[in-house]
Amino acid sequence: MIRKGFVIFILFSIGSPQKINLNSATIEEMQLLDLNSSQIESIIEYQNHTGNIHNIYELLQIPGITIPDIHSIRNVVTVE
């Protein structure tokens, strides 16, 4: 968890950070987020079943993803 926070801190410190696109991110990129491996796997399974995510709040359709989880990643992700 400390490593993830540090990486996110570094991303914000660089200037204009690049957001992680949930629709095209690799597993390695998703592991930088404040999510556990089960949540990441669930996001990938959801995408494989339904296609692209159109809104970050669509993640609430995934079991194990909560509003606090979304709030913890919303500033560092995009769904473009």
Q: What is the DSSP code (8-state) at residue 55?
A: S
Instruction: Give dist(CA 32, CA 79) in Å, integer.
Output: 16
Q: Which of 71, 69, 78, 66 is nearest to 22 (CA)?
A: 78
User: Would you state the pLDDT for residue 8?
Assistant: 57
3-state secondary structure of 9: helix
**Residue 1 in this model has a pLDDT that exceeds 60:** no
Q: Kindly report, residue by residue over 5-29, the tens digit of the pLDDT.
A: 555 555 555 555 689 999 999 999 9
